[in-house]
Structure 1
């Protein structure tokens, strides 16, 4: 979650400033979605923010106060488990979010249409969280909590977060209405998808591994027809002991169908494995011109 920036001390001043600006923008976008769309319509987010909304509803204290206070223990845990830089960027993001929600609390909401608030609130929350995660921080201690529990339970981080949010949305059903609770679940789903888009990027890359007896023919066809470079790896079958050449290639998701067609047209028995990649850097990933 924050491991990509643990060594950010090696970054230039300009890079650090850019990262701080993006975390600031992400936290403010999240605050807009929360205070001007979701909260006025009693639609909730999950995690610590969801708990903060419920406490604010009962006690009349601004949501930002609870977001800040409830996240403090998890910032400390994140410092111990992940690193100093993660704790600093998370502290920055949560502080900006807390202040922004307080400042935006008395502004007239964008809409009172429950469906519109749910859709666009979820989009803004996902965009804000995605930006903060992409640049090394987080706006909610739930994931840190899940990582901690993951080490002591048989459940995955994703499953623990899901259980926590189901409990929060169930409480929301009693506090507000079950209709609001269901809209909250929809907003959370939209936000999670938006986070994926921001963190992984619109043009999601895929890794491709191919094993075949006519590997050179397939490799040449990929370069000629798809315009992608390929790398030949040397493998050995554990069962047969036979040496095999393996193609490794990186493509976009839009090229996946074409890749399958190329491999199938040359060797119907070829082994083909395609997986998602969150980020590609370096090398010659840019597509060559096909003549």
Structure 2
């Protein structure tokens, strides 16, 4: 193992530790003292804790075991090992740390409890660990029956919160749903990143002019695919370049205006992008010093005339 790989491992486990601390703080300082629930296995442990006098740490480990066993057969062993370490870490912190209750306001408890738990779970997942076994169940059922993981987790939590409304109270169930929604949204945000990127694929006969316009006016990078002749609404088409680019969502309207101005009949496909690395996306092209762009513009201008 070289130094770079060792540094990556250390970074992963350090970030998982941060996730464990945030989740533990959300549970011990907000949700536990007030009897509020989160979703998934943590929610089951919290619900049982309201009915029986058993330490929350024991319940969390106990209810996680079946999901970890399932994970042993459905996900990589490395993820299972990290998840065992993470769940034990949360259980130990909850057991030994004495986080003070910060507020008794029910709305603040739901919001900040969800924020902390969601941030912790998101950081852990981003680094290859699971703090809640319901995600492992979702992966298993998705592989087995093709049902989306999101729907499985949602159905799991609908049952959980319905039982909460019946066993504890409707009010606690409603606040717990709010906590779960916030935690789920924060988890997604942490996993996918705070920057909202979008992918665009453009098919047009005026591909060269569109390339120049995007490079000049948006200054973002492009990937070009060679398209073969096909058959569309106007019959057989000629060979052309297919333009592919990743831009910030805030620029999407400007992208459409640029393309429409050159070719109102251009075919544009837009799709979400969760993670982007490398390329020139973050280091916008210097439009003034780019000699290759100037040569390309001159060549296109000559062909157009």
TM-score with structure 2 setting the length? 0.87
CA drift at 1:237: 5.6
Alignment partners' CA distance in 2, 1:9 and 1:54: 46
Alignment partners' CA distance in 1, 2:46 and 2:165: 13
Partner of 2:269, secondary structure, is: strand
Alignment partners' CA distance in 2, 1:136 and 1:68: 19
Count of residue correspondences: 283
Alignment partners' CA distance in 2, 1:127 and 1:57: 24
CA drift at 1:98: 1.0
Alignment partners' CA distance in 2, 1:170 and 1:280: 39
Alignment partners' CA distance in 2, 1:169 and 1:9: 48
Is the Cα–Cα contact under 8 Å of residues 42 and 176 in structure 1 kept in the other structure? no
Are 2:82 and 1:89 aligned? yes
Determine the structure 1 residue equivalent to 2:56. Answer: 63
Are 2:178 and 1:186 aligned? yes
Determine the structure 1 residue equivalent to 2:284. Answer: 287
Which aligned pairs between 1:222-233 and structure 2 lie closer than 5 A?
A: 222-233=214-225
Determine the structure 2 residue equivalent to 1:54. Answer: 47
Range moving further from structure 2, 15-24 or 265-274: 265-274
CA drift at 1:283: 2.7
Determine the structure 2 residue equivalent to 1:17. Answer: 10
TM-score with structure 1 setting the length? 0.91
Alignment partners' CA distance in 2, 1:220 and 1:45: 51
Partner of 1:172, secondary structure, is: helix
Range moving further from structure 2, 151-160 or 236-245: 236-245
Structure 1 9/115 Cα, relative in aligned 2: closer, same or farther at 3 Å? farther
Alignment partners' CA distance in 1, 2:149 and 2:26: 26
Is the Cα–Cα contact under 8 Å of residues 25 and 99 in structure 2 kept in the other structure? no
Are 2:227 and 1:235 aligned? yes
Is the Cα–Cα contact under 8 Å of residues 200 and 268 in structure 2 kept in the other structure? yes
| Offset from partner CA, 1:199-246 (integer Å, 9 cap, x none) | 111112221100111111111100000001212111236535533321
Alignment partners' CA distance in 2, 1:112 and 1:230: 53
Alignment partners' CA distance in 1, 2:119 and 2:48: 25
Among residues 165, 169, 175, which one is paired with 2:157 in the alignment?
A: 165
CA drift at 1:22: 0.7
CA drift at 1:176: 2.1
Is the Cα–Cα contact under 8 Å of residues 212 and 271 in structure 1 kept in the other structure? yes
Alignment partners' CA distance in 1, 2:49 and 2:245: 51
Are 2:106 and 1:114 aligned? yes
Alignment partners' CA distance in 2, 1:33 and 1:269: 52
Which aligned pairs between 1:199-214 and structure 2 lie closer than 5 A?
A: 199-214=191-206
Which aligned pairs between 1:17-56 and structure 2 lie closer than 5 A?
A: 17-56=10-49
Unmatched segments (≥5 aa) in structure 1:
1-7
Range moving further from structure 2, 67-76 or 192-201: 67-76
Unmatched segments (≥5 aa) in structure 2:
289-305
Is the Cα–Cα contact under 8 Å of residues 36 and 46 in structure 2 kept in the other structure? no
Determine the structure 1 residue equivalent to 2:293. Answer: none
Among residues 141, 152, 166, which one is paired with 1:149 in the alignment?
A: 141
CA drift at 1:162: 0.7
| Offset from partner CA, 1:108-134 (integer Å, 9 cap, x none) | 311110001111111111110110011
Q: Give the number of the structure whose alpha-carbon radius of gyration is greater.
A: 2
Are 2:269 and 1:273 aligned? yes
Partner of 1:283, secondary structure, is: coil
Determine the structure 1 residue equivalent to 2:297. Answer: none
Alignment partners' CA distance in 1, 2:4 and 2:48: 40
| Offset from partner CA, 1:128-182 (integer Å, 9 cap, x none) | 0110011111101101112222344353221111110000011111222111111
Determine the structure 2 residue equivalent to 1:79. Answer: 72
| Offset from partner CA, 1:3-38 (integer Å, 9 cap, x none) | xxxxx9996222211111110110110111111112
| Offset from partner CA, 1:37-82 (integer Å, 9 cap, x none) | 1222222101101110111222211222111122122223223222
